[in-house]
Structure 1
């Protein structure tokens, strides 16, 4: 294990041990439809590790996001992400890099527990050094007894070079389907699995590739204010330029 791999595991272990867990997040790659509720405020720490590519065996990348989420209404949450950043060890890049500043809004149409199905609409905007990003999601979820079933339809657009007049803009589009299933072994421990199918399009007109990932997820709901969720995903497709392994941890504290 190289130093970056060790650093990724250390980051997960340290944050997991110091931030126990409240507003439950059963998944990390699939967005749920649990509203925070008016007046509530939550901090979330994201750590995502991407490891090994078929065409770059030494590839490692750790991404960090710091989210502040507010319940502006019982059915609407608003979030701000402080500057995200990453550390990469690959053939293309060595060292740390600024990512983006993001804002997010989620409108909850129905509740997964009390209604026939929970439905939400998600919108996010990102701004980086030389790119703009936009992401929209349709969120669907149903809780049945101890089971949680969730699905997201995701449309994402990235416009590179938008702040550089000397280069031509490059538009990349993605369509993603994410799935999550979780079961509550105890009131504080959920286990299950996640998967996603992600297809990329140049200028939204030229198909490029499709990557498929699947793996286990564990969520621990600690006391009234703390939670942590970890997902490990393995590539089950054969895209040589996509990571073979992704590990994501999200830990939260509700104030």
Structure 2
């Protein structure tokens, strides 16, 4: 929608659809990015809906938001921090506990592709959720 390098605020809308014989998943995301000199600030708001099971009768969702800040060490390498706030919506009838993760991130860019690696530790001690997760994003601009 808008470019953070040329516009006041970069923005994008992202939609992901996954499916199979026992799973249908829809994910919608709004992405905002601001570049200030060598600093990059980003915010993502995500809503996810899932239908699982033999007849896709098991339904659930997730609402999450993440915020991050990175510093461009070189034009190819950025390091920073990220926080993730997530709320599960079992059966779309109630919300689960708020879960917060945080951790460092590192990004590498070359030509028209990039990757970002983010290890995140749970800060909220919700016992039935994972204590650690690592995310790898690989992208190509065209």
Q: Aligned residue for 1:246?
A: 133
Deviations 1:186-205 (A, max 9, x none): 11211001111000112322
1:231 correspondence with 2:118: yes
Deviations 1:183-237 (A, max 9, x none): 1011121100111100011232211222110000011224x35543211110001
Q: 1:248 Cα deviation (Å)? A: 2.4
Q: Which runs of 5+ in 2 are unaligned?
A: none
| SS of residue in 1 equivalent to 2:95 | strand
Q: Aligned residue for 1:141?
A: 33
Q: Separation in 2 of the partners of 1:122 and 1:252?
A: 13
Q: Separation in 2 of the partners of 1:156 and 1:226?
A: 26
CA contact (8 A) 1:201 1:209 kept: no
Deviations 1:156-209 (A, max 9, x none): 000112xx24xx712111110111111101112110011110001123221122
Shift in CA distance, 250/201, structure 1 to aligned 2, threshold 3 Å: closer
TM-score (norm 1): 0.52
Shift in CA distance, 140/228, structure 1 to aligned 2, threshold 3 Å: closer
1:202 to 87, 90, 104: 90
Q: Separation in 1 of the partners of 2:13 and 2:135?
A: 23
**Rg larger for:** 1
Pick the structure with more helix per residue.
1
Q: Separation in 1 of the partners of 2:15 and 2:51?
A: 16
TM-score (norm 2): 0.89
| SS of residue in 1 equivalent to 2:96 | strand
| SS of residue in 2 equivalent to 1:143 | strand
Q: Aligned residue for 1:154?
A: 46
Q: Separation in 1 of the partners of 2:16 and 2:95?
A: 24
Q: Aligned residue for 1:171?
A: 59
1:221 correspondence with 2:113: no
| SS of residue in 1 equivalent to 2:105 | strand
Q: Separation in 1 of the partners of 2:141 and 2:46?
A: 27
- Which 4+ stretches in 1 moved above 6 angstroms? none
Q: 1:119 Cα deviation (Å)? A: 1.3
Pick the structure with more strand per residue.
2
Shift in CA distance, 110/179, structure 1 to aligned 2, threshold 3 Å: same
Q: Which runs of 5+ in 1 are unaligned?
A: 1-108
Q: Separation in 2 of the partners of 1:151 and 1:250?
A: 15
Q: Report the count of equivalent residues.
A: 142
